[in-house]
Amino acid sequence: MANTPDDLKYTKDHEWVRSTGKSVVRVGITDHAQRQLGDIVFVELPKKGDRLEGSEPFGSVESVKSVSELYMPLSGTIATVNEDLNDEPERVNDDPYEDGWMIEVTIADQSALNGLLTAAEYRDYISAESAD
């Protein structure tokens, strides 16, 4: 079973969200997603200052198997991009919840976090998805 930390929020698009401060969240893809993708060889991320809406694509990951879009879990402005992924995209495979994080987003509405899945809900979702 994929690692699904209880202190994070999740999306059905397999992104995770960690609140890092008053209105900033850190975003990456889940352990489940990186396992499905296989070895990640390239990560394309937005520019700092880009404003994106929730569910809008913010970048992509390329693996040896395929290219997959990444989707904004919440509306906001890109505050920071993990530049280390330019040279070491394998960090997403090695440590998706720490060194493999992708972006930090300044969000306007903290309550929007309540619309995301809890770890238990995400585990149920991927179990149901795998059963299909």
Strands laid side by side in the 57-63 sheet: 40-44, 57-63, 67-71
Q: Note the pTM of the prediction, 2 decimals.
A: 0.95
Domain boundaries, the chain: 9-110+118-124
Mean pLDDT of the chain: 95
Q: What dotted CATH number matches 9-110+118-124?
A: 2.40.50.100
Residues 55-113 have pLDDT tens digits of 999 999 999 989 999 999 999 999 999 999 999 999 999 999 999 999 999 998 889 99
**Rg from Cα positions in the chain:** 14
Q: What is the C-alpha to C-alpha distance for residues 53 and 77, in angstroms, rounded to an integer?
A: 9
